[in-house]
Structure 1
């Protein structure tokens, strides 16, 4: 979609006109900006270099002025008669007084007098150093050759600009040394005159040392770390600020070479350039904006009518046929607009008719199956993107065929139309109500979970509470509702509708009115499509076989017992495991016929064993559907009477989950069966959902502990505790306890110690035909 948009944009005449002129102006402005920026940048850098040149000259001139000032002060001092006399007499106190007076007069911080033997006669900094060697012998030697000498020296950790001149009378009697301290105030004075940052450095061992500077603390610290890489000229970054620098050597002290570092902040120097550059950018942006606005206006005036018609054509292609084409001039464009308007109207009329036929049910006016599936796909996509939920209700009218057969199809159509109207009236604005086919309706509930649907299912059921009036004939109409939800039951429309159909038929078979899809309603394999017919034939032709597995009493007391288990040897497919055809029979509803066959054969066999004088109590499994069959007790009563079998020789086993779907109906059937005198057992106890309080209400006589708790009983402390507590619970409730799935003697010993009543499992015998079961009993009697 994005690529298509850009393709259309590139083909737009308006866009091409605007882009062309805007790009042309942008190109010109960019070139001008680049040229001006380059020129300004060059000028700014030249200006910085010129400032450094000028600053260097001013700086040297200032140093020369300081040296001249020292020369004058030292010359006046050297010509002083009292000074010469004090030198001649060696009067140190007079010398110090004269030096301090003249030093204070010219602002000198240091003054010394040394003799011709290069020893100090007086020193204002250290009066006690009289007679010691003069510290700056090289400078004194230079003064002896040239008559005077100047330089910069480090004294007591401070930097001084000093001058050496002779004292003559008329021959040289001594040497006078005077100097100014070069400190931060001195550097600040130089900065004020030169306009540059000034730092005084000495390259000494083991490294560089800064003696005075106008830089701030952070910049001075940054400079100290970069002194080893310092060049005569270049750039330094000090505390995130860039400086253009120039290094000037001032002299060579006893500590090492002395330099002055002049620095000019490039950020400050370039600030006018950046301001100008920003102004140019603003002017360029304003020019582009003006050009863009003017270009758009001109392009629209040129291409406006064509663009409007192109937009109309695009919307027609997208299915929008309600546009007003407001171009009424007499040009060719006006004629094209008129033709396009007529075409739009004609297409709208034809598509409305086609859409009505394709997506709407003609009887109820509701969306049909095709339209419902489209909306379901769209709702699933939205729910997937938003990580939300939705529910689907499949509604099928009960006994609707009787209405058609009794009253005729016109009355049936009226019922369908009224059902559609009522469903639409109780739906939300965002819901979709559709008639799929015949008497089948569907509701799409976006954003609603299945739990919320089940809480509000009464609102849908009330649609059918009010009788339908057909020309004075009141008619009760009921429906079965299947409920599914996204994403727990499926992630596409086909899967959801398939699950909803299964749930609806479950509700119809159970008579509960509604049912939520259960994941246990699994999809059958293709081979199962023919399996139902084969199973029916097997039941009708007695092709099934009953196997019997012993249930052995641990203490040897009590009669023989066995569980009847059905087996199927298919004539073509061979042995079919019960796990395949029994769940299939349950889901297709054929389990009732299969249960009748098993009951009839098991009861008949039990009666035969009783007549032979070797009675066996036989257990038969019942399914969930069997417990919901109110006619089951009568069927069982008829079969035991026919076989002349006392009821206490028959036990019916049910699973915990078997009475949870419709507990009231199942409990009623169980009470009727128990009234017959049969035994009732809960199979696979511990793996279902029943509570102890619920089990207490059931008319059962036996608990069968599931094999999951028995297999590792001899080695698992946890399983042992569960089994022991179950046996104690069963005995306290007056129930017999059977452990199934026992496969070894250590488990038998543990169960015997726990007081379990009977054991069923491979440790005593696998399921076997009746003849083999008799042989097993005979063999067991011989061993006893």
Structure 2
């Protein structure tokens, strides 16, 4: 959960980021302004200094040039007549004016640091130069050219040289002053650079402080939010997220708290829905185990015991296949309603899935469980009417005792399920868990790998049981049965490995082996002109396999066997237990020309409407209707009715399991066409069957017994 906002403190993230960036931008602008100002100042000073130096050099050059030019003009005067000297004097005056102008400009351009003594010396030497110059002019005017030449090359030249030396001294001093100014500017620039560095350092530190402050103000809440998200991912929705800020992270924290609360509520609802069967409203496995453990914890404090009942609705798949899933759902809701009436407030109960229900019932004594199971069957088994179709509901019960068989609900459930599967296998209504079942289960599991080796290692054997025509006594066919000669356990009867093979899905391998061996035997008989057919049993898994017709066709084609010589038998119970409608597969087999038969007829609960849709040729009446039928008129009447149904549908009817001459007489009297059983012959391997078939005494003995039968 999140803590509501109790103090609207702090700025929004975008405001904080904007302020931080604005501060950093201001520092950057300040640095740029300082740098630009320093650079402009330096550039201006350098430009002025360079201008002054350039002007000073130009002025000094002009002074030198003007002084030298004025001196050269004296030579011009000496070589002209007096009348032609006037223009020369004008040139001399102009040269002196240029010299004065240059001196004035030099005085303006000289730096303040220029020495006054050097300036005074310059002016004194200029006056000395002009005094000597004027004396020389006077000598020229007096036409004393010799003296003028001596003055020009002597005093004038010396005065000019002294003047020019003073000018150069002033120029050197000017350069020195410029160098000093450059040094000053360099020092000023270094000082400015230091200040810029200081400001940069301050900006860096301030930017770092701002970055850390803003980052911490965002990262810490983000870490809390990340940790909260991890807790939500792990299923912990009791969050304590303080929403004490008004920024975006506060909004995210508040939203995350809302999400956590919503997810917790939805997960609770989903868990409730996931642990409750939507069709019946009963507890599912996880909830039932939890409620059962709570019940056992309470019972552990008393002297009571308990029993766990695993209840499975028989033939649910058949109801779904024949009447539709709505009928199956109505059947399950009806069973759930009965459990609610019986156990609400007393026991823990629920639905595991499909047609399987469970109930953990407290008892005072274990001997009460028989009456409890009987009462449960009476309550749950009821007649269902669905759209005018009547269907009786039956259940199989598996029972495990607490604390004898297990000390937890899950352990009891596992053992009760095993007992329920055993009840279905043995076709019993109620089976109590027996530890021997566990040993048998382990034995079956050990056969899993052995069975594959048995098929590949030729350990399976084909046995044939003859079928005789009652009226003629002729052998018309055989039923192929499988036996397993285990290399370590010896001969294993089908009851020890066929049910296991069916439950593990390996029965298809056995079926394929039986089909191949039957085709080989039929091919041998065709070559010997033996007119017999072989019946091969196929299982529920086989009849659900849409690829079965193609597999049968391939085997028949490989051995070139007449399809009419092969008969496939499927039990009535197997037909009704098929989840997918087997009629499509059976029609595919019928189109191949293969004969089809329903085995163990009468043990299932198929309707006549369903039976007439099946493309079968033969009904094989179950042994339970034949056994001691000569002693039980009702059983004999049932047998006659079943035979009549078969004949009315145009089917051949075979009586199975005939073991005495009296049973033979009843089967014949009821109208069966074929007979099969130990009284006719026990299952034989191929060689023994051939010897039995070729022995004429067997046929004579059967005909004699048939004639002696009291019902012949």
More strand by share: 1
Q: Give yes or no for TM over 0.5.
A: no
Q: What TM-score do you get using the length of structure 2 for normalisation?
A: 0.42
More helix by share: 2
Normalised by the length of structure 1, the TM-score is 0.38
